[in-house]
Amino acid sequence: MIKIKVSIIIPCLNEERYIASCIESIVDSSLIDYELILVDGGSSDNTIKIIREFQEKYSFIKLLDNPKKFTPISMNIGIKDSKGDYIFIISAHAKYEKLYFIKLLDYIKETDANCVGGFLITDVKNKTLKSNSIKKVLSHKFGVGNSSFRVGIKDITEVDTVPFGCYTKETFKKYGLYDERLIRNQDIELNKRIINGGGKIYLIPNVKAIYYARENLKDLVKNNFSNGEWNIYTAFYTKSLNSLGVRHFVPLIFVLSLLVPLFLSFFNIVFLWVSALSLVSYLALVIMSSLDLNDNKSSFLYLILTFISLHISYGVGSLLGIFSVLKIIFKGYK
């Protein structure tokens, strides 16, 4: 019996647009002695059909079911079923360079780390002025903050989290699995738990994956509203802010800088100027950043709208998350 060295786990749900290119990039990699475990959360599109077609060609592909749907549960199902000494937790929304897995395996051994990950190149499947504008904003510091794996670094760096990482199996035994209460941020929380426990996580800049972003403002708003909301739920369920950084709350602070002075202006009109100053300062940064990014493949207007949509939806999500958590706490006291 061949010993499996590597397990690649992909949670998926309705990924028919992306799953084929994702699997193909894995199959075309230089890996040997590995298994690919896809855990489906009840897809209603052609995702399962596409996976089945790959299974007919490749015996190392396994499809498992997650009736509870949620991503961290799928991840844990895959980890528990895995046979490899090294475990990759990756996304169906991405495509991986030929040596992605080999390089990360080399680096996790070389650095003696618990987890290593690479740089994300944000891209879109259908290239239009609108989608290219979204792509640019999601790779810009004013768009996503100091997220090193998105904006890039030069050297191998110890970080608080990485995307689509390679873990040693021993790491999950020592620090535990993903927190199944967290619909979002489950990877950030686990990685912070590893670091707080004395573990090491490194970002490797010369290892790259292409991540396919949302291509319209409606999907972008929906996704980032949920991200902002789950920052609050993450803090509530874990009873800690340890897994989150300052960048996760900047959009909330901005939204509050608009709304709180606006409310106080009913009592004193001077506060209206505070809200106006915050808005004007923000719009100035948006315009300058949009001018910096604008070219013939993007739209200046869409760049502006993307920045605003990204930040406002994220901040409002966090604000409503606070009210939701307060409602849960209030009910608990009754």
| pLDDT tens, residue by residue, 295-311 | 999 999 999 999 999 99
Element (H, E) at 133: helix 129-137
Model pLDDT for residues 6-20, shown as the tens digit of each residue: 999 999 999 999 999
For residue 21, pLDDT over 80 is answered with: yes
Mean pLDDT of 223-227: 94
User: Nearest CA to 180 among 67, 70, 81?
Assistant: 70
Report in angstroms the alpha-carbon separations of 194 from 148, 150, 160, 198, 232. Answer: 18, 21, 9, 7, 21
What does the pLDDT read at residue 110?
A: 93
User: Nearest CA to 224 among 307, 283, 289, 291?
Assistant: 307
For residue 98, pLDDT over 70 is answered with: yes
Model pLDDT for residues 37-55, shown as the tens digit of each residue: 999 999 999 999 999 999 9
Q: Are 161 and 247 in contact (CB under 8 A)?
A: no
List beta partners, residue 187: none
181: phi then psi, degrees, rounded to nearest 5: -80, -20
Q: What is the residue-wise DSSP string for 262-329?
A: HHHTTT-THHHHHHHHHHHHHHHHHHHHHHHH--TTS-HHHHHHHHHHHHHHHHHHHHHHHHHHHHHH
Calculate what percentage of the chain has a pLDDT beyond 70.
Answer: 98
Largest CA distance in the chain: 77
For residue 3, pLDDT over 70 is answered with: no
Architecture of domain 1-93: Alpha-Beta Complex (3.90)
Q: How confident is the model at residue 1 (pLDDT cuts 50, 70, 90)?
A: very low
Calculate what percentage of the chain has a pLDDT beyond 90.
Answer: 80
Q: How confident is the model at residue 260 (pLDDT cuts 50, 70, 90)?
A: very high
What does the pLDDT read at residue 247?
A: 84
Q: How confident is the model at residue 245 (pLDDT cuts 50, 70, 90)?
A: confident
User: Nearest CA to 70 among 16, 22, 11, 19?
Assistant: 11
Average pLDDT taken over every residue of the chain? 92
Cα–Cα distance measured from residue 321 to residue 319, given in angstroms and rounded to the nearest whole number: 5
Mean pLDDT of 267-289: 95
Task: Lowest mean pLDDT of 59-68, 152-161, 253-262, 275-284, name the range.
Answer: 152-161
Measure the N-to-C terminal CA separation of the chain; round to a whole number of Å: 59
Cα–Cα distance measured from residue 50 to residue 302, given in angstroms and rounded to the nearest whole number: 34
Residue with tokens 């810009």: 140
What does the pLDDT read at residue 333?
A: 57
List beta partners, residue 40: 12, 65
What ranges do the domains of the chain cover?
A: 1-93, 237-333
